[in-house]
Every structure is written in structure tokens, then in C-alpha cells.
């Protein structure tokens, strides 16, 4: 690396920083500024101090939306990260010939979420949906319900779709990580008489802890940003049971034109997501890489 006093490094940097500054950084600052105002997006802007934050703190719907997204994240950690880990473990037991399996499981990741959402809205449809029809075929009519219309199942139903999409994604990440576990370690454990399950639990999983931390970070911060599935499948319903911060934000800003209030909620959400991200990166840094060279 050469110390350089010319403008050259800046010339290489300017285009990227200009686009990033224009489309991300400046709007972040403006969103923060808007959060102290009452504004409908085009009329007069009124400075209101921290009123919007006080309102957000008292807003039951906003609080509920956080609860919902936390439940969603908790479920998706199980359905995406844990299931992904188990699937990767299964596949890594016998690597040969598993390609077709990984392809099948990974395919949903390729699809636009809107396509996934529309498709699964049909799966859950209570008139002709796949799920109710399957239950009927199996003689389990009692379990049939309006999956997306029932407050007790809607959030889970959406989470399951998310799991369907991303289990393959995390499986792929973990599979790549498992492949980096030195074979000698595994062979040695095998000679000591460890079964596949013990190998998985005691050797493989601990050795890819780093990849698991990253996956958790992705799952959690990604979960806070979820929107497509919720917007298309339930749009917050039934009775607000699937209202998450993002759908609530979009409603406040774009439907009811409360730009100031929406911005305050966006700031709160940003602080939470960035804060979690920083904590995770710190934790990851403190534990030096053990496996990946």
C-alpha cells in the first residue's frame, strides 16, 4: 500500500461514494431529520421535537409489531437456521450424490418473494388450498383451518413460508462450512467410536460456530427487514396479528402520509438492527476464527 498525496485514490472512490451517499447516507440523515417533524410528504413541515418518539413509545400497534417480528424471528431461527443445520448435517454424512437434493432444497431461494407469497397464499387457501386438501385426504379434517385468517396460525403460517425458502439457503452455507472441517478430525473421532449423531453434535457443529453466528445474524437482521411475504400474504392482518414494523411503517408513511411519525419508527428500527449487528460482529471478533483458515 502506497501513501499517496494525489487525487487518484479519490477519483476511484468518488463514483461509488457519490451513489452510496446520494441514495443511502443522505436519506438516512434526512429520515432522522424528518423524525422530529410532522409532515405529510408535500405540505408544510412542522418541527415537533421528540413528540413522534413519545408517540411511538406509547403506540400499542408499534409495540405489537415488534413482538410479532420477534416471534417471527424466533420461529425462523428454528425453521431456517436449525433445520438448515440439520439438513446440512444429513447431506454431509454422505456427500456423494447429494447434489440433486441440495438443488431441490435450494431452488426456492431463487424465486422472487412475491412469487413465493402468491404461491403459498394458494397453498393456504381454505377453499382449494393444498394444505387443507392434504389434511382432508389424510382424514384430518379437524385440523383444517383458515390458515391466514386465524390469529393463532397466521404468523406461524407466514414464518413457515420463510422457512421453506431459506432452509435451503442456510443448508448451503453450513454445507460449505462442514466441508472445511478437516477430515482427519472426523476420522479420528470415528476411530474413537463416535456415531454420526455424536460427530454432528460434538465435532462438526462446534467447529463451524463462526458460520452459525453469521447465519444467526443474517436471520435476525434479515427478519427485521422482512416485508414482501407479509405484504402480499396478509398485509398485517388478520386483526393486526401479522403487523410487523415494516408493514406498519409503510402504512403510516404511504397510506396515511404521516412521514414524520413513520420516520421516527424507522429510526427506532434502524437503531435496533444496527445495534444487534454491532453486537454480533463484536462477539464474532472476540472469538478468533477457529476453523476457517
Partner 1 sequence: MPVTRKKTLAAVAALSATALILTGCSADGGSSDDNVLRIAMGSPGEAQIRVWDDVAAQYEAANPDVTVEMNYQDDDLYQTIGLPNLLNGRNAPDIYFEWAGARLEQRAADGFAADLTEAVTSGPIAGLFDDEVFTSLTVDGAVVMVPHSADVTNVLWYNEDIFADAGLTPPTTWAELLDTCDALNAEGIIPIASGNKDLWAAGNWLAHLTSRVVGEEAYSSALAGDTDFNTPEWIEAFGYVEELADHNCVNESVNAVDDNEGAQLFFQGKAAMHAIGSWLVSWAIDEAPDLNFDYVNLPAMPGEGNQESVIGVVTGYVVNAKSTKQDEAAEFLALLNSDENVQQFIGAELTPMTLSAASGEDIDSRTASLTSLLETAPAIVLPPDNGYDLETANALYAALAEVLGGQSSPADAVAGIDQKLG
Partner 2 sequence: MSIDASNKQFDSARTHTAKHHAGRRTPLRIADVLFTAALIVIAVVFFFPMLWMVFSSFKTNSAIFATPFALPTEIDFGRWVEAFEVGHIGQYALNSVIVTGASVLAILLLGAAAAFSFSRYRFRGRNLFMGLLALGLLLPLQSYFIAQSTMFTQLAITDTRWALIIPYTAMGLPLAVYLLKVYLDAVPDELFEAARIDGASDLRIFGSIALPLLRPGLATVAIFSALSSWNEFLLALLYIQDDALKTIPTGLLAFSSRYVTDYGLLFSALSIVTLPMIVIYIVFNKQIVEGITAGSVK
Stretch of 59-67, 110-118, 139-147, 152-160 contacting partner 2, by CB under 8 A = 110-118
* Spatial CA neighbour of 241 closest among 59, 55, 56, 61: 61
Could you tell me the CA-to-CA distances from 34 to 51, 54, 212 in Å, in that order? 12, 15, 37
Q: How many residues bind partner 2 (CB under 8 A)?
A: 100
Length of the chain as a residue count:
293
Segment contacting partner 1 by CB under 8 A, of 77-85, 190-198, 200-208, 230-238? 230-238
The interface region with partner 1, picked from 75-83, 105-113, 207-215, 232-240 by CB under 8 A, is 232-240
- Selected range binding partner 1 among 27-35, 106-114, 148-156, 201-209, rule: CB under 8 A: 148-156
DSSP for 256-278, written as a single string: S--HHHHHHHHHHHHHHHHHHHH
Q: Which residues contact 64 (CB under 8 A, 6 or more apart)?
A: 240, 243
Nearest residue to 281 via CA among 210, 229, 231: 210
Q: Should residue 138 be labelled a site residue for partner 2 when binding is judged by CB under 8 A?
A: no
- Spell out, one character per residue from 35 to 74, where the chain touches partner 2: x when CB under 8 A holds, - when not: ------x---------------------------------
The site string for partner 2 over 214-243 (x = CB under 8 A, - otherwise) reads x---x--x--xx-xx--xx-----------
Q: Within 10 A of 135 (CB to CB), how many other CB atoms are there?
A: 16
Q: Least Å distance between CB 275 and partner 2? A: 9
Describe the crossing of helices 154-179 and 209-224 by its angle, rounded to 10 degrees.
150
| Shortest distance (Å) from residue 151 CB to partner 2 | 24
CA distance 250 to 238: 17
* Stretch 50-89 residues interacting with partner 1 (CB under 8 A): 55, 60-61
For 109, other C-beta atoms within 10 Å of its C-beta total 15
Closer CB to partner 1, residue 72 or residue 231? Answer: 231
Query: Any contact of residue 19 with partner 2 (CB under 8 A)?
Result: yes
- φ and ψ at residue 181, rounded to 5 degrees: -70, 125
Question: If binding is defined by CB under 8 A, does position 130 make contact with partner 2?
Answer: yes
Provide CB contacts within 8 A for 91, sequence distance 6+. 98, 101, 102, 171, 175
Q: Would you give the binding string for partner 1 spanning residues 157-186, x where CB under 8 A is met?
A: ------------------------------
Q: Please, which residue, 53 or 227, has the CB nearer to partner 2?
A: 227
Instruction: Give me the least distance between CB of 159 and partner 1, in Å please.
Output: 16
Q: Which of residues 234-253 bind partner 1 (CB under 8 A)?
A: 234-235, 237-240, 250
Q: Which of 105, 158, 160, 181 binds partner 2 (CB under 8 A)?
A: 105
Q: d(Cα 53, Cα 293) in Å, to the nearest integer? A: 46
User: What's phi and psi for 37, nearest 5 deg?
Assistant: -125, 165
Binding site for partner 1 (CB under 8 A): 41-43, 55, 60-61, 125-127, 146-151, 154, 234-235, 237-240, 250, 254-258
Amino acid at each position: 500500500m502506497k501513501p499517496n498525496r494525489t487525487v487518484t485514490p479519490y477519483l476511484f472512490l468518488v463514483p461509488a461514494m457519490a451513489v452510496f451517499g446520494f441514495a443511502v447516507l443522505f436519506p438516512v440523515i434526512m429520515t432522522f431529520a424528518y423524525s422530529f417533524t410532522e409532515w405529510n410528504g408535500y405540505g408544510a413541515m412542522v418541527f415537533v421535537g421528540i413528540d413522534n418518539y413519545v408517540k411511538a413509545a406509547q403506540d400499542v400497534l408499534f409495540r405489537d409489531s415488534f413482538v410479532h417480528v420477534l416471534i417471527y424471528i424466533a420461529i425462523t431461527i428454528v425453521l431456517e437456521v436449525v433445520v438448515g443445520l440439520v439438513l446440512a448435517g444429513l447431506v454431509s454424512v454422505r456427500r456423494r450424490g447429494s447434489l440433486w437434493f441440495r438443488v431441490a432444497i435450494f431452488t426456492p431461494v431463487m424465486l422472487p418473494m412475491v412469487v413465493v407469497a402468491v404461491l403459498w397464499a394458494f397453498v393456504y387457501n381454505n377453499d382449494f388450498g393444498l394444505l387443507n386438501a392434504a389434511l382432508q385426504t389424510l382424514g384430518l379434517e379437524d385440523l383444517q383451518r383458515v390458515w391466514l385468517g386465524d390469529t393463532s396460525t397466521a404468523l406461524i403460517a407466514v414464518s413457515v413460508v420463510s422457512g421453506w425458502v431459506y432452509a435451503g439457503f442456510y443448508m448451503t452455507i453450513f454445507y460449505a462450512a462442514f466441508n472445511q472441517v478437516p477430515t482427519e478430525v472426523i476420522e479420528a473421532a470415528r476411530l474413537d467410536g463416535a456415531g454420526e449423531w455424536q460427530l454432528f453434535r460434538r465435532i462438526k457443529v462446534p467447529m463451524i460456530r463462526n458460520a452459525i453466528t453469521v447465519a444467526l445474524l443474517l436471520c435476525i437482521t434479515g427478519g427485521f427487514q422482512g416485508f414482501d411475504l407479509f405484504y402480499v400474504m396478509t398485509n398485517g392482518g388478520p386483526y393486526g396479528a401479522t403487523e410487523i414494523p415494516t408493514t406498519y411503517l409503510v402504512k403510516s408513511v404511504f397510506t396515511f402520509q404521516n412521514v414524520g411519525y413513520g420516520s421516527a419508527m424507522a429510526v427506532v428500527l434502524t437503531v435496533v438492527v444496527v445495534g444487534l449487528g454491532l453486537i454480533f460482529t463484536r462477539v464474532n471478533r472476540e472469538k478468533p476464527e477457529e476453523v476457517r483458515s
